[in-house]
């Protein structure tokens, strides 16, 4: 898998983006990130505690990974834009994963506020990666306002249900001129492989690794799923058929001769 993922002129070898929350401890997180072979780690800046640890975990992560700040927990356009500006000031990056959610219960995107928030951030020279519904129309509108990628959910955040609407994801991939990165809802390696087989450019996940019984081993499985799924997509699968098709020809077939 030699090709690189390009987002806003920045190149990444790995197509697996990882979150940084819900791990049992920081050492398990660091070991899991290493096993995943990720290059990008997303962090909710305002939720990081700087008092609990002797060394700021962001400083630790910055030594090895590209930090993608996110606006997790924002409910309004104003909150999201302010959080993005604070992240840019703190991390010196124009990249932001934009989240504008409707409520704390289902954590689904609030599209009514998401699109204008994305538009404002693009005007402010951000490279915006919006977390959005698996809706081709919404993804097209986000692309049209200038987002650097679109990040449709597979299923609700943390649910582990996998891709619930493969047809919509296919349409988003087919119609998009920017990278499509599945964000939220994957539960295991097969979900990641399916996303990549559908033609997605990458997957962002967190809970599936952080809350696995063995996070480090699951992170390794996710990295392998990214690679195998991408290779399968590039190779081109056989068409689905409603009837069987023999894999060998009848040429040279042995026939029994019946005796009278």
In a domain, 257, yes or no: no
Please state, in angstroms and rounded to a whole number, the distance separating the CA atoms of residues 147 and 8: 9
Please state, in angstroms and rounded to a whole number, the distance separating the CA atoms of residues 180 and 22: 25
In a domain, 259, yes or no: no
In a domain, 249, yes or no: no
In a domain, 242, yes or no: no
Enclosing domain of residue 47: 14-235
Number of domains within the chain: 1
In a domain, 187, yes or no: yes
In a domain, 252, yes or no: no
113: three-class secondary structure by DSSP: helix
In a domain, 51, yes or no: yes
Beta strands in the chain (DSSP E): 5-7, 10-12, 16-19, 40-43, 66-69, 95-98, 127-132, 151-152, 181-183, 202-205
First to last CA, the chain: 62
In a domain, 202, yes or no: yes
Please state, in angstroms and rounded to a whole number, the distance separating the CA atoms of residues 170 and 197: 10
* Residuewise pLDDT in 10s, the chain (260 residues): 458 999 998 999 999 999 998 899 999 999 999 999 999 999 987 644 444 444 577 888 988 999 999 999 899 999 999 999 999 998 899 999 999 988 877 889 999 999 999 999 999 999 999 999 999 999 999 999 999 999 999 988 888 889 999 999 999 999 999 999 999 989 999 999 999 999 999 999 999 999 999 999 999 999 999 999 999 999 998 888 888 877 766 666 666 666 65
CATH of the domain at 149: 3.20.20.70
Active-site amino acid positions: 97
Record the tokens describing residue 75, joined without a space: 């409910």
C-beta of residue 57 within 8 angstroms of C-beta of residue 26: yes
């Amino acid at each position: 898998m030699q090709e690189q993922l390009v987002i806003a002129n920045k190149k990444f070898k790995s197509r697996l983006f990882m979150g940084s929350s819900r791990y049992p401890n920081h050492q398990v997180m660091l070991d899991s990130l290493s096993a995943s072979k990720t290059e990008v780690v997303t962090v909710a800046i305002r939720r990081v505690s700087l008092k609990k640890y002797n060394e700021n975990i962001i400083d630790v992560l910055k030594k090895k990974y590209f930090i993608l700040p996110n606006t997790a927990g924002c409910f309004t356009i104003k909150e999201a834009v302010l959080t993005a500006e604070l992240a840019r000031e703190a991390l010196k990056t124009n990249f932001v994963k934009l989240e504008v959610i409707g409520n704390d219960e289902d954590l689904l995107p609030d599209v009514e506020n998401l699109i204008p928030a994305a538009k404002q951030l693009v005007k402010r020279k951000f490279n915006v990666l919006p977390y959005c519904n698996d809706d081709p129309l919404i993804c097209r509108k986000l692309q049209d306002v200038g987002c650097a990628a679109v990040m449709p959910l597979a299923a609700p955040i943390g649910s582990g249900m996998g891709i619930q609407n493969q047809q919509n994801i296919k349409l988003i991939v087919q119609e998009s001129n920017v990278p499509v990165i599945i964000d939220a809802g994957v539960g295991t390696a097969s979900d990641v492989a399916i996303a990549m087989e559908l033609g997605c450019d990458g997957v962002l996940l967190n809970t599936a690794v952080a809350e696995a019984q063995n996070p480090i081993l699951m992170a390794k499985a996710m990295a392998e799923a990214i690679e195998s799924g991408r290779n399968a997509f590039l190779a081109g699968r056989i068409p689905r058929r409603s009837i069987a098709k023999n894999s060998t020809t009848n040429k040279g077939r042995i026939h029994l001769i019946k005796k009278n």
